[in-house]
């Protein structure tokens, strides 16, 4: 009788352990099923995020320097170059010209995107720094006006006024003569050309002058002559 009771007690304990193991296994299984569901959801989210990231990379490339920007520049450069050379030819008596290049050969092979402005005259092409102040100014002025005209034309607006703020102080007397000559050569293409300078000798080079004078105790006054 005692042996039967002991056997029954062991069986009960074995059953309880089995029950606990079953409950634990069911809980682990439920947790694994939840993890599997979460994994599937995260995997789908990862796929969607990667697809979205790929779209953003395409947009980044499209709107980056090598995308639409490059296409717009490529389309505008021939017009800009033609316009700049038309003006520069007038400013230099046909001596100077500019060339815009968007590809540069690499020493390691291949090319890379760039925007180089090559200036040439009767002696050939050379670095911008080797041109005289007057020559460099003519090239600068031609490019600035050509770019302004291009932007105005594409915006459907009229280009009426040209402002030249200083630019004379670093030039010698001959250089200043060249700058004034360049301005007079293009003045008919604008309704108004406004030159701002502090150099007295340039005042008589233009028909209308607005002189600003600062007086102690009064402030700034202007005179039109």
pLDDT at 50: 94
| Mean pLDDT calculated for residue range 8-16 | 79
Helices (H) then strands (E): counts for the chain:
4, 7
**Residues near 187 by beta carbon (within 8 Å), at least 6 away in sequence:** 193
pTM of model > 0.85:
no
Any bridge partners for residue 195, and if so which?
164
* Residue percentage of the chain with pLDDT more than 90: 13
Whether 171 has a pLDDT exceeding 70, the answer reads no
Any bridge partners for residue 131, and if so which?
none
Q: 78-117 pLDDT, tens per residue?
A: 888 998 998 888 878 888 999 888 777 777 777 777 778 8
Report whether 87 contacts 186 (CB < 8 A). Answer: yes
pLDDT at 56: 93
Closest alpha carbon to 92 in 134, 146, 143: 134
Q: 124-138 pLDDT, tens per residue?
A: 988 888 888 778 878
């Amino acid at each position: 009788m005692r042996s039967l009771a002991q056997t029954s007690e062991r069986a009960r304990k074995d059953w309880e352990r089995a029950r606990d193991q079953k409950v634990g296994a069911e809980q682990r299984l439920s947790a694994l099923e939840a993890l599997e569901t979460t994994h599937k959801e995260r995997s789908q989210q990862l796929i969607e995020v990667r697809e979205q990231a790929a779209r953003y990379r395409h947009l980044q490339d499209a709107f980056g320097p090598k995308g639409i920007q490059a296409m717009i520049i490529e389309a505008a450069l021939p017009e800009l170059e033609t316009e700049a050379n038309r003006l520069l030819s007038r400013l230099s008596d046909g001596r100077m010209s500019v060339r815009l290049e968007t590809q540069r050969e690499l020493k390691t092979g291949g090319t890379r995107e760039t925007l180089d402005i090559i200036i040439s005259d009767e002696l050939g092409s050379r670095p911008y720094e080797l041109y005289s102040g007057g020559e460099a100014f003519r090239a600068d002025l031609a490019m600035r006006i050509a770019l302004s005209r291009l932007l105005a034309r594409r915006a459907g607006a009229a280009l009426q006024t040209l402002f030249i703020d200083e630019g004379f102080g670093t030039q010698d007397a001959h250089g200043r003569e060249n700058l004034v000559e360049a301005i007079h050569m293009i003045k008919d293409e604008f309704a108004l050309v406004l030159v701002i300078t502090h150099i007295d000798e340039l005042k008589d080079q233009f028909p209308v002058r607005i002189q600003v004078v600062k007086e102690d105790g009064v402030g700034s006054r202007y005179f039109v002559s």
